[in-house]
Each structure stands twice: as C-alpha cells, then as structure tokens.
Structure 1
Amino acid sequence: MAPKVLVVLTSFGHIEAANKPTGWYLPELSHPYDVLSNNGVEIVTASPKGGKAPLDPASVEMFKGDASAQAFVNEKKAVWEQTQVLSAFKGRADEFAALFYPGGHGPMFDLVDDADSIAVIEEFAAKGKVVAAVCHGPVVFVNAKRADGNPLLAERDVTGFSNAEEDAVDMSKYMPFLLEDRIKAVGGNYKKADQPWGELVLVQDGGKLITGQNPASAKGVGEAILKAIGA
C-alpha cells in the first residue's frame, strides 16, 4: 500500500495592507509533489477552509521558466482547487506517513495560529510521524508543542524564510512578524544558507522534523521527506 502524505495549504489569499494577492508558493508544492508522487507516494491536500487554496500569482510568473512548476499549474489543478477541510484530519495521523506545509506568505496569516492545524501537527509529532515545511511554511510549527509541553522547535536546528530574504522582496513591513525572529523566540536554533536564496534543508530527530529555507530548498525537502518515510 502506497504511503500517504498530508499536504496542508493556506486559505489566505490577500494581504490588505499591501493590496496584493498572496497564497501558497508554486514551486514549494510542485517540486516536492513531483519527488513524492514519482516515487509512489499518495498526496492528500487540505486547507483550513477546504476547496480552492489560493495560489500566489506572483509565484506562477516568477517560475514561468520552471518546467516542473508550469506542468503542475497546467495539469494538477485539482490538487489545490479541491482541498479537503483540515479539521476533518484530526485524529487521523495513523493514516499518513508525513505531514507537509508549503510556504508562501499566506501561512503567516492563517495557519500560524490555526487551532486545527496545531492539533494535527501535535498529533503527527506525538505519533512519531514526519512533519515538514518549507520557506514560510515552518511558521506553522511555532505555536505547536511536543508531548512534554515544550515548543516543538525548541532546541532544534530549524530554517525558514530569512529576515534578509523578506527584506529583499520588500515584504517585511507587511508581515505580522518575521519568521526568523519567531523561530528564535520559541527556542529554535535558526539556521540559514550562506547567501540569501541559497538552498538549505535541515533534518532533525532522525527525519521527524524537516525544514527548508526558501523556494530553492523545496525539492530538497521533498527528497528528505521521501528518505524519512522510506518510500
């Protein structure tokens, strides 16, 4: 029986302060999806509201020269347009090998403190399942706790979209907080690549906690998930 990975996408699609659309970021789903699905892993998608999870149009434009991303946009619309409601997955960690959160700015606004998301993360972690995220995705972990009550990220090497990268895209002023700062605030050992936009994937707890820094790290996160679940 094929292993299953639950992928959770944001339902947040517009940043009012910036007057611009947002959502999840294309290559951060398309690249891991290719890695996993090409190796027999079944992908199930969910979002807080269910239905269509907003795809950041800027990511489609930015990655118009990326064959994987464009094939995904053109051929896999059901993956993000027909997501299930996240709350329906509480109590179901045993059905899955891993839990994965792509980034984009959307998760900074909804998934960070979504009670259903936090419950699902904590359940997966407590059962020894793989939990993974890339770019802004690791924000979903900052309010989650381990079974012992400590923050999930405490004393773990963790990465995610850096302050320097947020400044470079001129979005820091529109964020409710900066991801790098929040990871440090909950006791995570924040790490980043030598240069902005460099690839960095961190694997902790024997593959049970996987984080990637930015879009360039998405494929590597997919590969780390694949290795961790033994698919």
Structure 2
Amino acid sequence: MSFVPKPKVLFILSSHSKFGDTGNPTGWYLPEFAHPYAVLAPHAEISVASPAGGEAPLDPGSVELFKEDPVCMTFYKQQSHLWKNTDKLENYIGKAADFDLIFVAGGHGPLWDLTDNASLQKLLAEFYDSGKVVAAVCHGTCALLNVKLTNGELIIKDQPVTGFSNDEEKQIGLDEAVPFSLQTELIKNGGKYEKASAPWGAHISVGRNGRMITGQNPASAAGIAELFLKSYNSGRK
C-alpha cells in the first residue's frame, strides 16, 4: 500500500463579534468548525486563521443551541486553543502551495468582515490557482462572492454554489437585520444557487471540477470535510 501524506488544511474564522448596530454578539458558528474539525483532525494537519488574529469570537448562541450535540461540546471543551490563538490570515498569503484545502467557517460574523476582505480574496484565489480546494459553509460562503481568478472571472460565476438560504434567514428572524441576503447575492454574482428541498436540510454543492465545495447550513459542514477527504485519498492512491 502506498503512503498517502496527510493533507494540510487552513480554517478561516471571523473576527467580527457584534451583530451590526444591535450590540448583540455574533461571530463564527460552533458546529461549522467543530463538525468538519472532528472529521479532518485524525487525518490532517490543521491551521486556523482570522482577519485580526488572536481570539476569534465564537457566537454564544451557537454554543447554547448545540449544547446537546456531543461533537460540538467535546470540541468546545477541549479545543478552545484553536480559536483563542488564531494566526492572521494575511500571514498565509503566498503559502497556498503548502496546503490542500482552505475552509471558511460560517456564522453571521463573516458577513461583516469576510465578504470584502482583500487579503482573504487574494488567499482564496491563490488556493484555487494553485490547484487546491476552496470550501465554505453557510454564511462563510460570503467570502467567495467577490473572489476573482487570474482570468478576471468570479470564482462562483456559472458554478453550482450554496450557502445559508433566504428561507432559513427568515425563519430565524434575521432576514431584515443582516447587511445582505447571501442567497440573493450569490445569484446576483452569477452563481448557480442550490439548496436542500426543505430549510435546514443538508446540501453540498460542488463546482470548479471539484475544487470549490460549499455547504448550505450547519447540517452540511461535516459533509464538506468528508467529501474533501474522499477526493484527496482517492487522488493519491
């Protein structure tokens, strides 16, 4: 049996902690890091970055909502060093060749600090142009909205893509509070938006010949990691 090297994964978390002008806390969403981490950690080398570096704010609402989820609670209790000591994402510019996957976690925080982050857009484009896999889940897909490839084309243009749906945003009562509707913007920027048959169902979209993977919501997070690992291992046997 041939040796398959461990893939190297870079997780991106939001540094934004306040929900607009409401003063309510937000940040990255627990299951959207915890679940893919649980899938990847036994098989991969993992790094974590955020725009500001240091502690990336965890949305406290996600901790409460998933307090009965054993994967989330184990991660929350045992892996806090991962989000309390993140690197600055700009430090990874030019290092895409050292990694195999970049994964943008969701939560409402990304809508404010990852959508138009020039360093992250450059980093995502570098990963793709280096032949690596670009992934995002839920609101984290906002990071892909304005990423341009070397040919000037938006990475999501004419590609299957998903993210938190307008229906889901409405069901949690935040459709009028968010700075923009992710589903609407993904469509506006040329993406072929897909979603599960019913809100909160898992749905994963694969574009760019397998090099762009997006998940609709928390239920989709682990599946992205599983799909990446399957593809990575099959490509190196």
CA contact (8 A) 1:210 1:221 kept: yes
Which of the residues 180, 185, 189 maps onto 1:182? 185
Distance in 2 (CA, whole Å) between partners of 1:72 and 1:98 is 21
Which of the residues 72, 75, 87 maps onto 2:75? 72
Indicate the residue corresponding to 1:113 in structure 2.
Answer: 116
Indicate the residue corresponding to 1:205 in structure 2.
Answer: 208
Shift of 1:101: 0.4
SS at match of 1:73: helix
SS at match of 1:155: coil
Q: Does 1:214 align with 2:208?
A: no
Q: Does 1:4 align with 2:8?
A: yes
Q: What whole-Å deviation, never above 9, does each CA across 1:101-125 have from its counterpart, x for those lacking one?
A: 0100000000100111001001011
4+ runs deviating over 6 angstroms:
none
Distance in 2 (CA, whole Å) between partners of 1:141 and 1:105 is 15
Deviation larger for 205-214 or 84-93: 205-214
Indicate the residue corresponding to 2:35 in structure 1.
Answer: 31
Shift of 1:19: 2.4
Shift of 1:35: 0.4
Shift of 1:228: 3.0
Alignment of 1:50-65 (within 5 A): 50-65=53-68
Which of the residues 129, 133, 138 maps onto 2:132? 129
Q: What whole-Å deviation, never above 9, does each CA across 1:141-173 have from its counterpart, x for those lacking one?
A: 001012211110000010000000001111111
Distance in 1 (CA, whole Å) between partners of 2:164 and 2:223 is 15
SS at match of 2:176: helix
Distance in 2 (CA, whole Å) between partners of 1:24 and 1:14 is 11
CA contact (8 A) 1:156 1:204 kept: yes
Distance in 1 (CA, whole Å) between partners of 2:79 and 2:125 is 29
Distance in 2 (CA, whole Å) between partners of 1:205 and 1:146 is 12
Indicate the residue corresponding to 2:47 in structure 1.
Answer: 44
With normalisation by structure 1, the TM-score equals: 0.97
Indicate the residue corresponding to 1:18 in structure 2.
Answer: 22
1:200 aligned partner, one-letter code: H
Indicate the residue corresponding to 1:87 in structure 2.
Answer: 90
2:7 aligned partner, one-letter code: P
Shift of 1:227: 2.1
Q: Does 1:152 align with 2:155?
A: yes
1:15 aligned partner, one-letter code: F
Q: 1:145 to 1:16 in 2, by over 3 A?
A: closer
RMSD (CA atoms): 1.1
Distance in 2 (CA, whole Å) between partners of 1:145 and 1:16 is 27
Indicate the residue corresponding to 1:142 in structure 2.
Answer: 145
Shift of 1:225: 1.9
Shift of 1:203: 1.6
Q: Sequence identity of aligned pairs in percent?
A: 45
